[in-house]
Structure 1
């Protein structure tokens, strides 16, 4: 069960690191959506929804850039009342369509926030508000979530825009273990968020120099960028989450009743045959039930030149133990079905004073002690 339970990353930096991989994966679905024959329209729309989850960010950023350019032109460039080619005695007045701006603002607000209030209505109709702390606390939680979303949206927009560009340029990504417990420190937050903070501060100062109303219009985006570091630090604090949980805010049903999966994990780890003295890798090699499970999940990778390479890695692992191999080599042999079988058989034939012999001794001592 180790590592099988997927939780949300506890910090903004970790969430954005995960999004960098997800952005590239979702953009790769574009070719499937457009070119794969036989897909239903609903399935293509599901792919498009995943793609737009990241492409929407550079579109938003482009909208802000074009709006800033337009505001700068209106403020800095002289208005041409009689441009070239304009004939007549009357000037060509600049056009301003406030109904378009109002319609864009209202439709955006409806798209972002109306589904949240529909969710509250759904909870009331189906009578499960109690699982979220009650109707009043559910409403307060939704309002709090909206405030946090307003703070995080520009940060995600800036990060996702970079990820989309990197994906289009085919920049390679590293896949490493994800942080599940650590909080964000102030130094880390400032280093990670500094480019966005400088961007928000510079844009806000430029907007102020252009026009007061444009400056106020820019604040919902610029201010969260300027406050990115404090936002990242405080939203990673376990104490803040525990305080909200104590007040039954942002509560979800799984916090009131334990999930069956987690109950299974507790039972599994408390079984008599579990071996806390062995690492998961050692258990996967030595214990027959673990080894068979991993073999069932593995594939046959022995073909061509890889056969000799895998055989050499298995022999070295049996002779000197896993520490003699790199992480890449160890990953290759534990994904190969035949290598897992050979490791299991070879480890149980190992001399008592070898790495695997000592591991068998620890396993035997635990079983006999139990």
Structure 2
């Protein structure tokens, strides 16, 4: 049904597009425009019909084939539990924030009375010694506070290979056989205890399910940008996830977090070999989640998306700058999937289509830009070059080029309807379901929707240009830095101007050329050009936290957890983790001075041994004692912090240091 609806709609729209063009597709420029239009329109049509399917299913009370509806609530609640590992891979994250979320999950599980079935693992890939020493201290403090020794574990792997999937793989090789199930969380994930229990029970009742993916909602947004993202996610998301889950059924995608995996088949079938190709298609797979779902499906395991699993959350990037930095990584990972989509053996069609959808998430931007370029060429050719009325030899009748602006307006209106109608269906769904009050009331809900649509229209050209750059960088295999995400903060003017200067200048040149060609074409170009010209102010304004809180106080862009309250949010704000603050000293300095922390870190360190390494360590210890921590590089401090003997020796020597020395002064301050 989906395929037929999308194809019929695309064929009709492309025919209509050809009837608008001056030569009805008689030139190579117009053929290119029609071809690109057909690809982009089919992708928009796909999203439209998924939203419509979701709306119809929600009107009928949900999808009766979903996992949640395949048994009664009482039957599910009586299903016995099984041992489950909850793993949180982290990399250079804010320690208090990510471990605070883990504490909230633990407290929520404790309230269910089922926490004894879960073990937690903090899997660190952090390279900065000041951060990972702080992680160890916070972990120890957290386990002591919760009295969860032996239940919350911390591991930092010294060899950082294959990014997040390598980190999870390292955990599985060590502890995977001890746990039938594994729940994967991101550093910004938050899940309710009831949801985690239900996920384990669903896996127990459906032994063919290899991965069960929840549908995370965005939460805890402070800036205008984050609040718009979480509002649209919570209002529109249920329609699209319900429709997507109903279409994919047991051949859904894995999103990499807020999901439960059956450990044994995942270990057996989801090892990721490096890509054997060239350039972009050579080396480790960057976006591992879709690939792991495809490998599970190939092995006969089902992968399900379950939209009715509540209390599954993540956080939005606080600014557009951070979102685009994340998209730069995701673009390269998704484009790698082209190799697997075309050359992967025995992969199911649904998973190949999931690869294609991920690729189009970024490839649509250069296609849209190419369409604008061809439209500009077509408009310029009518002015700059003489019109060829007799393009073929011995032609008896002239070909009259003719623009049909009214038809163009109709086609644009149809396209906008496909983009925006599902959003209004979501509003209708919220009103009919009695949820409008949780979004601030019906009137404020409509104002919020209009505000979200305006901002989305402003951001679309900015994302188009940025994603085009990311696609080109990926195709030329420009190396990316793998770094932790900035999950808080605002964008400054200098950062925004530098980030968007090229796009603003390009847009100014384009509309100047458009005005020279034809005033009407100039007017058509403004909706794309204006957001690019004023991109820097848009970046800065959307990043402002004070403006976001002003909107919240006015009842705009409100989400249910804010209007009705949430135990998870209360725990997150009222139950921060309590670990020793470092004040003006770094975590490395505290690890050497503080007796309790020194004993902790020494207990987690190893005797690195080896004659050559011992000589180097002794030289580093002497330098550290003489010059202080600032005299050592990150690598040197990491080496000392990993060595038990060095930590203990430096601790003793620092407490014996003269009062006027660097360490003596720090010791007095401590």
Fold conserved between structures, TM > 0.5: yes
Aligned to 1:269, what secondary structure does the other structure show?
coil
* Partner residue of 2:479 out of 172, 197, 212: 172
Correspondence list, 1:122-137, <5 A: 122-137=429-444
Checking the alignment, whether the CA contact within 8 Å between 1:318 and 1:356 is kept in structure 2 is no
Q: Deviations over 1:160-192 (max 9, x none)?
A: 111110111011122344444443333333332
Residue 328 and residue 34 in structure 1: after superposition, are their counterparts in 2 closer, same or farther (change >3 A)?
A: farther
Aligned-partner Cα distance in 2 for 1:240–1:25: 34
Decide whether aligned partners of structure 1 residues 293 and 103 sit closer, same or farther in structure 2, where only a CA change above 3 A counts. Answer: farther
Equivalent of residue 2 in structure 1, options 96, 115, 120:
96
The superposition leaves residues 90-135 of structure 1 with CA deviations (integer Å, 9 ceiling, x where unpaired) of 3222254668735642342133212211221222233222221122
Contact 2:617 2:646 in 1 (8 A): no
Tell me what 1:202 maps to. Answer: 509
Q: Report how far residue 56 of structure 1 moved.
A: 0.8
Aligned to 2:335: 27
* Distance in 1 separating the partners of 2:524 and 2:603: 58
Question: 1:43 deviation in Å?
Answer: 2.6
1:64-75 pair list within 5 angstroms: 64-75=372-383
| RMSD, aligned CA | 4.0
C-alpha deviation, 1:330, in angstroms: 6.1
Q: May I ask how many residue pairs the two structures share in their alignment?
A: 343
Do the aligned residues in 2 keep the contact of 1:350 with 1:356 (CA within 8 Å)?
Answer: no
Residue 79 of structure 1 aligns to a residue whose secondary structure is coil
How many angstroms apart in 2 are the aligned matches of 1:313 and 1:145?
58
Q: Distance in 1 between matches of 2:497 and 2:445?
A: 33
8 Å Cα contact 2:491-2:543 kept in structure 1: yes
Whether 1:353 aligns to 2:653 is yes
| Higher relative helix content | 1
Aligned to 1:299: none
Q: 2:325 aligns with which of 11, 17, 30?
A: 17
Of stretches 187-196 and 95-104 in structure 1, the one that deviates more from structure 2 is 95-104
Offset of residue 75 of structure 1: 1.9
Which residue does 1:234 correspond to in 2? 541
* Counterpart position of 2:553: 246
Structure 2 gap segments, 5+ residues each: 1-94, 99-186, 189-314, 658-662
Q: Which stretch has the larger CA shift, 207-216 or 174-183?
A: 174-183
Q: How far 1:309 moved relative to its partner?
A: 9.7
Does 2:363 align with 1:55?
A: yes
Change (3 A) 1:265 1:250: closer
Q: Please name the residue that 2:500 is paired with.
A: 193
**1:316/1:324 contact within 8 Å kept:** no
Q: Determine helix, strand or coil for the equivalent of 2:575.
A: helix
Q: Aligned in 2, Cα 1:167/1:237: closer, same or farther, shift over 3 Å?
A: same
User: C-alpha separation between the residues in 1 aligned to 2:484 and 2:428?
Assistant: 39
The structure with the greater share of residues assigned to strand is 2
Cα distance in 2 between the residues matched to 1:293 and 1:164: 46
**Matched-pair contact (CA < 8 Å) for 1:16–1:159:** yes
Deviation at 1:25, TM superposition (A): 1.8
1:233-273, Cα deviation, whole Å (9 max, x unpaired): 22222221121111011112343435627725753524xxx
Alignment of 1:86-97 (within 5 A): 86-88=394-396, 90-96=397-403
Q: SS in structure 1 opposite 2:389?
A: coil
Change (3 A) 1:85 1:263: same
**C-alpha offsets along residues 42-78 of structure 1, whole Å, 9 cap, x if unaligned?**
3333332222111111000000000000000012222
